[in-house]
Structure 1
């Protein structure tokens, strides 16, 4: 059984992409799932572009994960047993493709090959989505009131997971009047897409599509908190991505003061931090539009090695899976690596470098062996905390 997963925030974009993907195999079924008010799931199944099944199901607990586990997965199983070689699963708007992949891997009774994970969007809406402060529920993308993700958080998560981004004029095109691929907003969105999803194939309505290129391991590596992935080119256009590294620990107070300036004007800030008040903890930082948060991702490899050596165990060999994960002869993998993507006029490499350099501990501060540092970011609690 072959599966293709389609995620989106826009039902019109999703349906256009799903219909196209249904033509990649001779014997395909296309399924569109929607989670409506009252825990009601609407399921529509198409073959050769014609609707042959339309059903509604009421879930006892109508959340996005339950929709996938209790309706999407069983539908894929049933259609495979009916003899379909390929099933396109159009997920309810706001459902993360990574969650669907996990549920399918665990819930299907037969082996399945995931050909592609595809995000469908209107590039003209991308900038607005990144900066939208409303939650998915407040914006009407999902019926789940407790879903407090923003549209930018959803899209950045999907960019890391998918192998392909399909572009279609969405529902917003009719409201804003932009002229699809001929508009300035569309072209600007395409440039921003190249900065935010450099690995993904960007496929327009007239472009060739490459089936069968989903890489599960690659998706997991890209979406690991603290991972830094960069555009394929460092050419500066309307948007740019700046990478900066700081080899010494950061002073927690100075970093707290610098964080709003680092995030100002940033569409996407991501990386890992070495902060003196939580020196053995690898802190991931992420800022998407108006939201910035920090979270613990465990112990630095160098500290884990030191613990293993003291216990008489063989130290781990540092994995070379991430190009920007440098191994310092003294500090190991400890260190700050930060990438900031935004409009070229808003992202100044010199300013970002100056701010991070100013946060590093001085020689005198480094010499304070056993010093206890203030913890204004509450990193000692190792909790994810939006700021």
Structure 2
């Protein structure tokens, strides 16, 4: 029988540790492992293992390249495999800025297949700090949360990915007003994810499918929010079929990014018609990534190689002329001017008389291949 493993992520260390403590209390004999990365820029990592409130093992290590990937591959995964069967539950408390997806995918390997099963990805959130942190433009290095030397990610970017990948969001800290505001924000950021403040979800059951977890957030298959308004917070969905004029859309980027707290989705350009382009922006920082081909650009024989989720999404978006190409962007923020936002985006669409024009594409130098941080 494989041993259940639950990941506990979150930028807010106090909230995260409180969730780990609760898991240890509720599952006597469970072990929690945490890699403290506060000295990672000096090439040092401290592994702390707890049983209840007691530290049972403390070790310092120096991974070859001083990064999270090395730590997971060289220490965390071997430690979990070694302790499989020795505890009813293994709790992995991730460092502040570690994104749970990279760890979940590392555990989904042949070495751990019969010994470990991932049963939960919990992101702990401090209800007092989340509304502020999700709009902070600080980078991780300046805020002391970096997970490697040269880590250039932003605090709000990491927080968004932590909560969007989770199977449950756990609220700690703050007062009733903080909890109400945080729940309202999460209704827009992660509408399909359970939010709990007391009893934790079951974490000793069946194994999660890591691929399905990833498909919930990957742009070609993402479960994006719908048009919603909660108090002053608004989510606006923009869906169109016509291609975007790359020059006009590029010129609108700053206004689109600064006018909302969080936006994401997929789009296409006539200069790159075969590529699914991902839009991802939070707290004023935007990235555009190449996520591979649209199904319409592939031979039909290759469609069977795609996941059921990818084929289902393509069928829902399918148009007899352009296939599964679609503009599907979602914007969230306080008091968004819906009509102005939709008007700006519509003005970026390619006009019929521009279809044959030779267009310059300023996105070419901006687009990167999709990577998981």
TM range (shorter): 0.7 to 0.9
Paired residue secondary structure (1:45): strand
Return 5+ residue gaps in structure 1 as ranges.
170-179
Match of 1:225 in 2: 219
Q: Assess if the C-alpha contact under 8 Å between 2:127 and 2:171 holds in 1.
A: yes
Match of 1:375 in 2: 361
Paired residue secondary structure (1:21): helix
Correspondence for 1:349 among 338, 347, 354: 338
Paired residue secondary structure (2:134): helix
Summarize deviations over 1:82-113 as a string: whole Å, max 9, x none: x2121111112211211111222235374311
Paired residue secondary structure (2:142): coil
Q: Assess if the C-alpha contact under 8 Å between 2:122 and 2:166 holds in 1.
A: yes
Matches within 5 A, 1:1-387: 1-37=3-39, 38-80=42-84, 83-106=86-109, 107-108=111-112, 110-142=114-146, 144-169=148-173, 180-182=174-176, 184-204=177-197, 206-211=198-203, 212=205, 214-231=208-225, 234-304=228-298, 308=299, 319-322=310-313, 325-343=316-334, 345=335, 347-366=336-355, 368=356, 371-378=357-364, 382-383=367-368
How far the C-alpha of 1:330 sits from its partner, in A, is: 1.6
Q: TM-score, normalised by structure 1?
A: 0.84
Q: Assess if the C-alpha contact under 8 Å between 1:9 and 1:93 holds in 2.
A: yes
Q: Assess if the C-alpha contact under 8 Å between 1:285 and 1:294 holds in 2.
A: yes
Task: Measure, in 2, the Cα distance between the counterparts of 1:4 and 1:12.
Answer: 18
Using the TM superposition, name which of 112-121 and 347-356 deviates more.
Answer: 347-356
Q: Assess if the C-alpha contact under 8 Å between 1:77 and 1:109 holds in 2.
A: no
Summarize deviations over 1:177-200 as a string: whole Å, max 9, x none: xxx123x44432221122111222
How far the C-alpha of 1:51 sits from its partner, in A, is: 2.4
Judged with a 3 Å threshold, the aligned counterparts in structure 2 of structure 1 residues 250 and 133 are, in CA distance, closer, same or farther, namely same
Return 5+ residue gaps in structure 2 as ranges.
none
User: What is the total number of aligned residue pairs between the two structures?
Assistant: 360
Task: Measure, in 2, the Cα distance between the counterparts of 1:60 and 1:229.
Answer: 37
Task: Measure, in 2, the Cα distance between the counterparts of 1:18 and 1:240.
Answer: 33
How far the C-alpha of 1:227 sits from its partner, in A, is: 4.5
How far the C-alpha of 1:148 sits from its partner, in A, is: 0.8
Match of 1:175 in 2: none
Q: How big is the alpha-carbon RMSD for the aligned residues of Structure 1 and Structure 2?
A: 2.7
